[in-house]
Amino acid sequence: MPGPLPKDPALRQRKNRVSTSATLSVETGLRHHAPALPKLGPEHEWHPLTRAWWKDVWHSPMSGEYLQVDKHGLFRLAALVDRFWRDPSQALAAEIRLQGQCFGLTPIDRRRLQWEVAKVEEVTKQKRRVEQPDVESSEDSRKVLRVLRA
């Protein structure tokens, strides 16, 4: 005896929908330009490693998920990163790690946010499929079939 029929999917209670899940494209980061770092004072010059970090963040695939309002949190994080490069401490490193979680800056943070970065190989394969028309599809595919005898 096979048992009862499965429930209609529309009637299921749990749908396990995730509002934050996204597949991030590598090309997204290439389209974004990094906003200018704010002036912190008349004599303040951003550390070169902070500027490099800022550029990397805005050219990453995650930058496509950032909203205008997220810039303020990233500015605060940049100030912490700048202070860390000038006077490293464990407390600053811990705070940077905590603040960076919100922006998916590490692999584990992206996993928690359920963001998946599309692999470069997959993106180039998809491009090739779109760019190159399939020549063989216009021919009759039945020409390839043959009868095999045992």
Boundaries of every domain in the chain:
25-33+44-120
- Whether residue 64 is predicted with pLDDT greater than 70 in this model: the reply is yes
Residue pair 110/104 in contact (Cβ under 8 Å)? The answer is: yes
- Above pLDDT 90, what percent of the chain? 31
Structure confidence by residue, pLDDT tens digits, 13-30: 666 666 667 777 776 656
